[in-house]
Amino acid sequence: MEYLWQGLFQALELLVSGDGQTFSAIWVTLRVSTMSITGTLLIGIPLGFVLGYQSFPGKKGLRLIVDTLLSFPTVVIGLLVYAMVSRQGPLGDFGLLFTVPGIAIGQIILGLPIIIALTASALEHIDERLRHTLLTLGADKRQVMLSTVWEARYPILAAAVTAYGRIVSEVGISMMVGGNIKWHTRTITTAIALETNKGQFGMGIALGLVLLAIAFAVNLLLHVLGQKTG
Amino acid sequence: MIPVPFLYLLQNVMVQYAGQTVLHIPSMHIPENIILGISGHNGSGKSTLLRLLAFLEHPTQGRVRFRQATENTSREFLRRRITLLAQSPYLLKRSVLGNVAYGLKIRKEKQVEEKVSEALDMVGLSPARFLRRKWHQLSGGERQRVALASRLVLRPDVLLLDEPTSNLDQESTFLTRQAVLQAHEHWGTNLIMVSHDLEWLAQVSQTTLSMHKGRIQESSYDI
């Protein structure tokens, strides 16, 4: 038990002293997760709208595929993205392997099914009177789409929190596509895995605490945002 | 002979749901500058007729014409002049200001708050008390009146009202009647109302129609 307390004490020391390696991993995590969640929301919300609100042939089959992808293992995504961005892969010329944007591509693939499925679900359950209300108040097609998404903002915010939680806590993609390169692509989760293997519990615990703090801050921010837009 | 100008002209209109005919009007016109009351039992096709007149639904067969609008006139353009207040209206998940201002904002109109306050006054809701209230902080009658204000603020050419007083107390019913009549008098808004409340319809309407099983049964003017 004592080594855990020692680890916690060491963790606080690392955080208070502004340890370079620790803060580099935090900075990389914040950068990559911000890129990933932004990309996920920008692509996922319109696709979720189409899947949940529009009618088209093959919709049920597509919904089943999206729901299945919710349990896509991160190492498999890591493997696929690695194959795509490695030198022999179709995206090899872009030099994305072992870079932050490379990790972000994998994390967007990870977050997309969550946003698409939960946005679609939110829109499937939206009050059917809404569409006629917007139309009779004079909204055009684009305004109907934007206002409908806005009406579903609370479940979409919840979807964003869920997707962010999955993105920020994943290891497989960051490890395989990012390569866990110190000062460059080492994220909080890959650093925890590495430091624990080395027996450096202090840094592992410090980074774990920061990860929890980030998750708390994001949840708090979205909660406040939800209340302000009420 | 159809008098010109007309507000609406319906030609051979039929609406079917799952193969079942719910509305059949071979020919009908609605003249300009009208307060029309439509009565009928449940399932008589009143609400379907209102949705057609609001250009929210297409007839299965036939044509609904509004004034001199042609086949090429977009429904969006028509819906900016015609608005419908449904029997149980939906309020957007916004404040009262956000709800009433919605139609003005999408039309990019100016002096929004002033116009919203004026519309709230018309329906008997004090802007000072209600402007910042959330949609979930309103009673049933207040919700109905906010929904009416969000239509009145647009100063529509046609205001279609589906059972506007069905869930209202006496005071709210009185305020609703005053507000819609004021819109007719001040802005020339045509009023077409559907109601079970024959007494209320008689008080408000200049002309009446009654419907039965999807057809016009009686009318107080030559349709």
Express each pLDDT in A153-172 by its tens digit.
Answer: 999 999 999 999 999 999 99
Q: At what angle do helices A201-228 and A2-16 cross, to 10 degrees?
A: 60
Residue of B nearest to A228 (CA): B94
- For A4, the token pair is 């855990």
Cβ A136–B56 below 8 Å, yes or no? yes
pLDDT higher than 70, residue B212:
yes
Q: How many CB atoms lie within 10 A of CB B79?
A: 21
User: Who's near A226: CB < 8 A, 6+ residues apart?
Assistant: A153, A154, A157
pLDDT, mean over chain B: 93
pLDDT higher than 80, residue B3:
no
Cβ A137–B90 below 8 Å, yes or no? no
Question: CA-CA-CA-CA torsion for B106, B54, B93, B148, nearest 10 degrees?
Answer: 100
pLDDT higher than 90, residue A95:
yes
Enter the pTM of the model. Answer: 0.87
- For A71, the token pair is 């349990």
- For B121, the token pair is 């006054």
Residue of B nearest to A229 (CA): B94
What is the rounded average pLDDT of the residues A85-94? 94
- Residues in chain A closer than 8 A to B84 (CB atoms): 132, 136
What is the rounded average pLDDT of the residues A3-24? 85
pLDDT higher than 80, residue B204:
yes
pLDDT band, very low/low/confident/very high, at B1 (cuts 50, 70, 90): low
Q: Is B77 on the interface with A (CB under 8 A)?
A: no
Query: In CATH, what number does B6-219 get?
Result: 3.40.50.300
pLDDT higher than 90, residue A188:
yes
pLDDT higher than 70, residue A230:
no
Q: What is the 8-class DSSP label of residue A183? A: T
Task: Tell me the CA end-to-end span of chain A in Å, nearest whole number.
Answer: 47
Tell me which residue has tokens 């899947």. Answer: A51
* pLDDT on residue A203: 79
For chain A, how big is the Rg over CA atoms in Å? 20
What superfamily would CATH give domain A2-225? MetI-like (1.10.3720.10)
Report helix, strand and coil shares of chain A as percent, to nearest 5: 80, 0, 20
pLDDT band, very low/low/confident/very high, at B135 (cuts 50, 70, 90): very high
* pLDDT on residue A14: 83
* pLDDT on residue A12: 84
Q: Which of B55, B75, B76 to mutate to test the interface with A (most CBs of A within 10 A)?
A: B76
Residue A33 contacts residue A167 (beta carbons within 8 Å) = yes
pLDDT band, very low/low/confident/very high, at B2 (cuts 50, 70, 90): low
**Cross-chain CB nearest to B56 (options A130, A135, A147):** A135
Q: Is A137 on the interface with B (CB under 8 A)?
A: yes
Q: How is chain A split into domains, by residue range? A: 2-225
Question: In whole angstroms, what is the distance from residue B150 CA to residue B154 CA?
Answer: 7
**Cross-chain CB nearest to B90 (options A127, A141, A153):** A127
Which range has the worst mean pLDDT, A41-50, A125-134, B190-199?
Answer: B190-199
What is the rounded average pLDDT of the residues A185-191? 95
Q: Is A227 on the interface with B (CB under 8 A)?
A: no
What percent of chain B clears pLDDT 90, i.e. is strictly above it? 81
pLDDT higher than 70, residue A175:
yes
Cβ B83–A135 below 8 Å, yes or no? no
B window 85-104, beta carbon within 8 A of A: 86, 88-90, 92-93, 102-103
Cβ A132–B134 below 8 Å, yes or no? no
| Each residue's pLDDT tens digit, B64-104 | 999 989 888 999 999 999 999 999 999 999 999 999 999 99
Nearest to B148 by CA among B189, B110, B188: B189
Give me the half-sphere count of Cα atoms (radius 13 Å) on the Cβ side of residue B161.
37
Cis peptide before B5 (omega within 30 of 0): yes
What percent of chain A clears pLDDT 90, i.e. is strictly above it? 78
Cβ A137–B86 below 8 Å, yes or no? no
Between β-strands B215-219 and B207-212, what pairing exists: parallel, antiparallel or unpaired? Answer: antiparallel
